[in-house]
Structure 1
């Protein structure tokens, strides 16, 4: 099977979301779209590849596996798209990307999309892209429409602070970030005990369960979602108007992607960060690197800044 375009993304959830967009567009273009990711049946994917497929959306590991087996023929693929390129070109993923590219023709067109432009992306661009165009929209888009606050707390006060936020904020849907899988599950249990509806999702869950949680949350079955950073990349859920960093991130790129889960599609959003004494250096660095100001949380938050 020969493809016209290959779209690589870093996470399974983003692969399914991207494929749905492609399938909607394909109704008007007479092209066939297929999605392939780890955690799903390899046999089913191989069988599907015996049918016409013009656009393949997938995660690098699964695409490489299919290419190595000779069932995913990329020699005629004229376009490679990498969404969330900074993540795909990180040291842990780059070897797979290079191997996938070895199956593509020399004349392929490569498109990189990313909200951040770290050294890894620049190095890849300089080595593998010929006379590339760079289009930078970040001066206009970075954190636009998102109001950012912080609450300075002790670790043991975090759950109480979160409970207060739930009672005071008008939440359509919220995403709450933790820095580890264990803390995701523990916090989800605490939120449920407080009497609020809550799902959780992280990378160590069985893929079928992850798919169900993602689908149900996207369809509004639950108001709050606790997650690890598996959910920071490119996930567009229009109803999310509040993001809470229960655990403050370690770097500005992670902060940018987390906070960007609210304020999608031109909507307004609110980001609340629970900051401990140990977070103070990261907090200062992230403000400086992003050129943004995270203000102390006021006693009352105007709903007009995050509700529409």
Structure 2
């Protein structure tokens, strides 16, 4: 069978060369399906599960369409909307080398950090803005950015935008872009108001659907482990975290995520946490540690179910089963990405069994639960080789240095310092701010 290349799909030569430099030679199915239409300027509605290659599917036509356009201060010609800071950052990482190959500039806009640097970038002139809705609307209200020159608008993970309550802001933003511009919308589902966006803002869109969202990828193996109580659960989770590969553990609350990451790190399993209470620099630092391997384990709340795209995650553990089946599928989608195999484990206490059974049924997952503990053969086989224990300082040091910088100078009164320590370490803006 003849393999279709990016050039065959109409991707311009400079972009094909940029892909080749990054070792990307063959398009994924969603890229093969959408690129012939999007590269000719058609509005496209793309549906596909996470990890299916959607970012390149919109990045390539976006850059191709904007190449050669005149750059203007604070008036970008391309706009990408993303629901979370993490996703916006990762989109930019994929988009930037392609843009640079064609002489385009990209900047990222989101909350949780000072807007000054973002405003400076806009004033100096950028071609493409990758933004979260909250901060973008703030800058629009301050008249620091205008969308009246946007020729191509991309909305990524529109269903997650809906889940987070961002659709009113997204609607206002899209309404501020020219009506005759090209729109590319990518979403796993079309519920919760996403269909209204499609009807209002996409002109005669062509729909391309690759993989149904409620089908688990064939490379993903699901396990349901029943445990007898809290102590058995703790021992099992610690063992599941101890393998040599990269893994993500999902918790229901920020406090429990922070606590488990600390416990694992102290036990010699380098771990970092990711949740809404972290400042943006802390999120970036922890994701970088997870991506570069200095931390093998990421302990996260549902904020990471959509916002983290790291290849090579071999195991996802639902330490706390999620509340609904869509969250289960999106959490699980952190593994078995880009053609790699992966395992998903759900740890279930006795009182959670009925709810978890119903959740898996709604998610379309059929798996026989097993009664296990940390010594069970099934668990030992799944974990595989135990990684050597590491001293906690390997991952904890950056946090410790940050804390050290925040200490008052010598001689400052102790009472105010104690008052500050009772407050949360850092307030965080909402995910899409």
Task: Answer whether contact 1:238 1:265 (CA < 8 A) is retained.
Answer: yes
Q: Shift of residue 155 of structure 1?
A: 4.8
Alignment of 1:170-181 (within 5 A): 170-181=243-254
Question: Of residues 256, 265, 284 in structure 1, which corresponds to 2:338?
Answer: 265
Question: Of residues 154, 159, 183 in structure 2, which corresponds to 1:110?
Answer: 183
110-119 or 238-247: which moved more? 110-119
Question: Of residues 153, 168, 174 in structure 1, which corresponds to 2:227?
Answer: 153
Q: Shift of residue 220 of structure 1?
A: 0.9
Question: Of residues 222, 233, 237 in structure 2, which corresponds to 1:162?
Answer: 237
Judged with a 3 Å threshold, the aligned counterparts in structure 2 of structure 1 residues 150 and 113 are, in CA distance, closer, same or farther, namely same
Bigger radius of gyration, 1 or 2? 2
Alignment of 1:148-297 (within 5 A): 148-156=222-230, 157-166=232-241, 170-297=243-370
1:49 partnered with 2:127:
no
Task: Answer whether contact 1:171 1:241 (CA < 8 A) is retained.
Answer: no
1:63 partnered with 2:153:
no
Q: Shift of residue 96 of structure 1?
A: 1.3
229-238 or 246-255: which moved more? 229-238
| Alignment gaps of 5+ in structure 1 | none
105-114 or 288-297: which moved more? 288-297
- Please give the alpha-carbon distance, in whole angstroms, between the structure 1 residues aligned to 2:257 and 2:346: 16
Q: Shift of residue 60 of structure 1?
A: 0.6
Q: Shift of residue 187 of structure 1?
A: 1.6
Question: Of residues 79, 96, 114 in structure 2, which corresponds to 1:23?
Answer: 96
Question: Any idea what SS the aligned residue of 2:358 has?
Answer: helix
Aligned residues: 303
- Please give the alpha-carbon distance, in whole angstroms, between the structure 1 residues aligned to 2:264 and 2:258: 10
45-54 or 127-136: which moved more? 127-136
- Please give the alpha-carbon distance, in whole angstroms, between the structure 2 residues aligned to 1:264 and 1:292: 18
Q: Shift of residue 133 of structure 1?
A: 2.2
Judged with a 3 Å threshold, the aligned counterparts in structure 2 of structure 1 residues 294 and 114 are, in CA distance, closer, same or farther, namely farther
225-234 or 296-305: which moved more? 296-305
TM-score by length of 2: 0.65
Residue aligning to 1:299: 377
- Please give the alpha-carbon distance, in whole angstroms, between the structure 1 residues aligned to 2:323 and 2:244: 26
**Pairwise CA RMSD of aligned residues?**
2.3
Q: Shift of residue 127 of structure 1?
A: 3.7
Task: Answer whether contact 1:7 1:82 (CA < 8 A) is retained.
Answer: yes
Q: Shift of residue 304 of structure 1?
A: 12
174-183 or 295-304: which moved more? 295-304
Q: Shift of residue 303 of structure 1?
A: 6.3
Judged with a 3 Å threshold, the aligned counterparts in structure 2 of structure 1 residues 32 and 199 are, in CA distance, closer, same or farther, namely same
Judged with a 3 Å threshold, the aligned counterparts in structure 2 of structure 1 residues 164 and 45 are, in CA distance, closer, same or farther, namely closer
